[in-house]
Chains A and B, each alone.
Chain A
Amino acid sequence: MDSQIIEVLNVTRGVAWLPWAVSYFFLIGLSYGSFMLTLPYFVFGRAQHEKLGRLALLGALVCGLTAPVALLADLHGPGRFLNFYLHFQPQSWMSWGSFFIPIYLAGLLLYAWLALRGDFAVRGQGGTSLLARLYRLAGRGGEAPRMAIAAAALLALAGAVLVALYTGMEVMVVHARPLWNTPFLPAQFAATAFAGAIGLALLFNRFIGGRDSELEIGLNRLLVLALALVLTLGGGWLFVSLSGVSPSHSAAFSQVAGMPQWQLTAVWTALATIVPMALATWRPASSGLITGLIAVHSAWMMRWTIFIGGQSIPKTGAGLYDYHLPLGNDGLLGIVGTLGLWIALLVLMLEYLPWAGQAVAAGNEKATNALAANAIASH
């Protein structure tokens, strides 16, 4: 029998995890990804990775400190957040998350402080201003022993792994949304987080790192690998969905496959992965700005699609729920506000944190001087 159904009346459920959630997942991902990039220099002492280590530390800190603000804002009762700590629920991934985030952030802050302790001491030399005294306080003991830095890094690493795990699992366990309910998801979150962190490092290298072309090449190479992983995971998901090995994957696929907006998203995602891979391979020394931008954008867009796109699929009703980004707090203003906070924190850190150490700072100055000299010469 030929039959057709049109829904005339049904409830429309608005998204309950707001764009704030996208911001949180995005920022915390960039943070733990960036943290990983700091390890070669600060923990393993590879001098050639100093600039990367310092830029990435900046990225890990600025994203890591902004993320919890977005997370709190996503609670519809942010003032009640203490309940997380008063009523621990071992069967809920979100409950675990409320303990993992402080572990990660505490580890990260301790690690950053120890890693920069020598630099704090240098900044505090001489001077009697309050700031100089604060630097001296932060730098007391001078350069931290390698073992201490490594121990703090281990704590932050444990936190980072736990955060990566819980953010993925929390979404994966939602059986009610076939699109989320896939073991690929945690891996996809992590892989795009790394790609995004590499993208962020590329952008930092451009705008604050004095555009080190060796670093740009190295990061572009790394980006190709990370994006290859993203592509493999995406392909794996597609294969499992199309081959029919897993009915829940096929269900998720068939829910969205026929919809034009989802087809567009799929093409966009594929392009946003393949184009930076091609550029990074073809022009590793000069494409950093664009590959970095696209990589950061992909990390954002993947989360946006999963959360906002995922929630616009009705669980029982027909068609799609309409989502229009509201202009206020729970929409555009929230995103812009988070970005503003991020920028403000970054500016403060650039100004007051001895993130660049001595060598990099000097190198940057040289690069800036060279830029200035070039500019003067060309006039």
Chain B
Amino acid sequence: MIQSRRNFLRALPAITAGAALAPAPAIASAAGKEDGRHRWAMVVDVQKCIGCQACTVSCIMENAVPENSFRTIVSTYEVHDDKRTNTYMLPRLCNHCANPPCIPVCPVGATFQRKDGVVVVDGDRCVGCAYCVQACPYDARFINHETGKADKCTFCAHRVDAGLLPACVETCVGGARIFGDLNDPGSKVRHLVDQNKMKVLKPEMGTQPHVFYLGLDERFQGHVEGAGTLWQPSGHGG
């Protein structure tokens, strides 16, 4: 059981909807995590993201991501349409693709997909060749300069296995990140995916991402055509 205040608050809508009667574990059941009963996925409701980067920071804290490296980030764009100027926010992370090009290239089999769909790196085996970094179409991977190994978002597998939500989901202020089990017909991600026209990033790559975007502007679905980022990290990028 998760008893944190945040989880309690998170459970409130569920209570009002009558789906649960008490603060429940964030993820219904983490038992049998490797037996393929679950298929973890995320829905990002782009319109709810306020660009606060709370997820970026909590991910860094949770996963000890080294300075100037990111497992997730909210890409932020200034968009000028005729006379209107808007800010566009796009949370990015590993898509835990169903057909992940990062896996077959690995020369030592260090990158693999768990039965529940989470793509992870076996740090003991990884030689740091960075082939997977090249192969990921989303720039989701990087070489961790402290460990010399491939690093990326794991959907916070260590938390999920313990019945918790990924750190980014837990901290998301706007409620833009929704995490759950696609195999569970009662889960919110399942509902959202079934009832909405979801978009994924770079669908033409055939990677079958399992991070789905709600309300994604097509101009941001692939390589963004625009002026380059104004901010560059000082030390080790990536």
Contact = CB atoms under 8 A, between A and B. Distances in A.
A7 B142 contact: no
A197 to B, nearest CB: 26
A10 B128 contact: no
Interface string A1-13: 1111111111111
Contacts of B238: 11-14, 16
Interface in A347-362: none
A41 interface: no
A11 B136 CA distance: 15
A16 B69 CA distance: 13
B127 A16 contact: no
Nearest to A17: B130
B215 interface: no
Nearest to A311: B134
Contacts of B201: 316
Contacts of A49: none
Contact of B78 (A5, A17, A320): A5
A315 interface: yes
B227 A89 contact: no
A255 B222 CA distance: 12
Contacts of A74: 129
Contact of A12 (B131, B135, B225, B237): B237
Q: How many of chain B's residues touch chain A, expressed as a range?
A: 35 or more
B127 A80 contact: yes
Interface stretch (B4-12, B98-106, B175-183): B98-106
Interface in B64-100: 70, 73-82, 87-88, 92
Interface in A1-57: 1-14, 16-17
B143 interface: yes
B236 interface: yes
Nearest to B144: A76
What DSSP secondary structure best describes chain A's contact surface? loop
Contacts of A322: 232
Contacts of A170: 131
A85 to B, nearest CB: 9
A141 interface: no
B130 A76 contact: yes
B105 A317 contact: no
Interface in A252-272: 255
B149 interface: yes
A305 interface: no
A162 interface: no
Interface in A298-343: 311, 314-322
A84 B226 contact: no
Given A92-B106, A92-B131, A174-B134, A319 B126 contact: no
A374 interface: no
B219 interface: yes
A86 B237 CA distance: 31
B148 A7 contact: no
A173 interface: yes
B73 A3 contact: no
Contacts of B125: 80, 83, 87
Given A13-B238, A76-B128, A318 B224 contact: yes
A210 to B, nearest CB: 43
B78 to A, nearest CB: 4
B108 interface: yes
Interface in A137-185: 170, 173-177, 180
Contacts of B232: 12, 322
A89 B108 contact: yes
A260 to B, nearest CB: 13
A90 to B, nearest CB: 10
B134 A84 contact: no
A80 B219 CA distance: 42
B87 to A, nearest CB: 8
B238 to A, nearest CB: 4
A87 B135 CA distance: 20
Contacts of A17: 130, 134
Given A84-B107, A89-B108, A5 B231 contact: no
Nearest to A170: B131
Which 4 A-B residue pairs are closest in the complex by CB-CB distance? A319-B228, A76-B128, A5-B226, A14-B237
Interface of A: 1-14, 16-17, 74-77, 80-81, 83-84, 86-87, 89, 91-95, 97-98, 170, 173-177, 180, 255, 311, 314-322
Given A6-B78, A176-B135, A176-B137, 12 more contacts: A6-B77, A8-B78, A13-B139, A16-B130, A16-B133, A77-B148, A81-B127, A173-B105, A175-B101, A255-B223, A315-B137, A316-B138
Interface of B: 70, 73-82, 87-88, 92, 101, 104-110, 125-131, 133-139, 142-143, 145, 148-149, 201-202, 205, 219, 222-233, 236-238
21 contacts: A2-B81, A6-B78, A7-B229, A8-B76, A13-B142, A16-B143, A76-B143, A76-B148, A91-B104, A94-B107, A95-B107, A174-B135, A175-B137, A176-B205, A315-B136, A315-B137, A316-B224, A318-B224, A318-B228, A319-B227, A321-B237
